Amino acid sequence: MTLDLFYPAPEGLPVPVNPPRGDDGIYRLVSGTDWSQVLQLGSDRLIRAGALWLYGFLDEAHRLTQQDSSSEGAYWHALVHRSEGDFSNALYWFRRAGAHPVQARLRAKVGEAIKERSSEGWQTLMEGPRWEPTRLVELCERSSRNEPAHPAVLQEVVRMEYDLLMEYVLDQARS
């Protein structure tokens, strides 16, 4: 059993809004494995929450994030609500997470992606001097209403965000 199940995110995941639930086998594997032992971590609650979110097990991920008062727990909580389409609650949890270190890294990665591709769909995310989760939430909301929101860009940015947050959580759990 390795990290490859959920980090980095498998191709096509995460689905930004209203993701389908993964199959029961994935659920049993993610929830039934003692990741703290397998990965030699202090705690695996947030790793499990992120992996469950990744595969569309939003209720289960939500329960785990509610048990964690850290800024990382608030960040995962925001992702759960954003995925559910509960955008105002997502913004609340992003405010609770605060200016998280993942955000600066995400802004840098998005900036690099713009250099490598046409900037269509990316520019709104890069307005201002720092990452603003509100902009990504707005794109997800537009996408949920089937308005033009550049779905390929949206999926790529959400994947970057997930990978950066999972990497951060794993690093924190190892220390």
User: d(Cα 51, Cα 7) in Å, to the nearest integer?
Assistant: 8
User: d(Cα 41, Cα 80) in Å, to the nearest integer?
Assistant: 23
pLDDT in tens, 32-64: 999 999 988 888 999 999 999 999 999 999 999
Q: 69 falls in which pLDDT band (50, 70, 90)? A: very high
CB 163 within 8 A of CB 8: yes
Residue burial 34-67, b: 16+ Cβ < 10 Å; e: rest: ebeeebebeebbbbbbbbbbbbbbbebbbebbee
pTM: 0.96
Length of the chain: 175
